[in-house]
């Protein structure tokens, strides 16, 4: 599946109040691997950035004066995004700005252009409830090197988010991707390797690992308003066992 990790920088926080896009960074993934076919655009927003926004991205108004206006790059961007699955951190923000820019030109919305939009911030909140889930926090947690990130930049942030997303979604299917060199079959299709024939050893957790597991479950339970699904399931099993014993 073709995926595009996207990030924007803007003149401020409100597209509805006239703030505009000044930078767009896109990283293309194919089968969860970077293709190198990235897109990086600076845009003349036809207005100045707010002081607070300048502190975040550091892109001066003078630097943007000779850059193309959004109308000049809109079709290139739309063609690049068309049909892909987008991955965006705090997707409603970036999608809202892109929709406003496309709307000014009478062009289709993001939803009409792409196949799907994944909000990696919402995903991170589900995976790490009660934790900080900014891009920097996720880089630290998932061991993604963000040492070069002193200011926000659309392409750099998209590159970091691509690594974060792959690490955050790495599961059992990763075995199918990373065994050998991912041999290809006819028409370039990746061959799926059947792992059912492997006799995998079962390694039981030791006491310290079980204790660490209990601590993590305890933190999850505290962070969930009605208790974690695990805790509720275990309580139900205990009640059922006691009922069987008494019966």
152 is catalytic: yes
Is the distance from CB of 85 to CB of 2 less than 8 angstroms? yes
Q: State the CB neighbour count (10 A cutoff) for residue 99.
A: 17
Q: How many domains, the chain?
A: 2
Per-residue pLDDT tens digits for 4-52: 999 999 999 999 999 999 999 999 999 999 999 999 999 999 999 999 9
The domain that contains 23 carries what CATH number? 3.30.420.10
The model carries a pTM of 0.69
Catalytic residue among 50, 89, 152, 213: 152
- Do residues 93 and 210 share a domain? no
Residue from 48, 111, 102, 109 nearest 70 by CA: 102
**Host domain of residue 221:** 201-246
- Do residues 217 and 141 share a domain? no
Rounded (5°) CA angle 174-33-38 = 160
170 lies in some domain: yes
- Do residues 206 and 168 share a domain? no
Per-residue pLDDT tens digits for 53-89: 999 899 999 999 999 999 999 999 999 999 999 999 9
- Do residues 213 and 151 share a domain? no
């Amino acid at each position: 599946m073709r995926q595009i990790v996207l990030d924007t920088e803007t003149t401020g926080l409100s597209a509805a109040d006239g703030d505009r896009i000044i930078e767009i960074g896109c990283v293309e993934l194919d089968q969860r691997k970077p293709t190198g076919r990235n897109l990086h655009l600076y845009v003349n927003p036809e207005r100045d950035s707010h002081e607070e926004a300048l502190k975040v991205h550091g892109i001066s108004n003078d630097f943007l004066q000779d850059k193309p206006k959004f109308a000049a790059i809109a079709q290139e961007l739309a063609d690049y995004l068309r049909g892909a699955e987008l991955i965006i951190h705090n997707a409603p923000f970036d999608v809202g700005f892109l929709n406003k820019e496309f709307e000014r030109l009478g062009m289709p919305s993001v939803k009409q252009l792409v196949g799907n939009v994944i909000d990696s911030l919402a995903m991170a909140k589900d995976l790490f409830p009660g934790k900080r889930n900014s891009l920097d926090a996720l880089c630290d947690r998932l061991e993604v090197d963000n040492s070069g990130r002193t200011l926000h930049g659309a392409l750099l942030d998209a590159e970091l988010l691509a690594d974060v997303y792959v690490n955050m979604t790495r599961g059992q299917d990763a075995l199918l991707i990373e065994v050998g060199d991912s041999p290809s079959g006819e028409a370039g299709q990746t061959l799926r390797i059947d792992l059912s024939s492997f006799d995998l050893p079962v390694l039981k957790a030791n006491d310290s690992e079980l204790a660490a597991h209990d601590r993590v479950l305890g933190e999850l339970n505290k962070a969930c308003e009605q208790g974690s699904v695990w805790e509720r399931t275990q309580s139900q099993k205990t009640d059922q066992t006691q009922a069987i014993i008494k019966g």
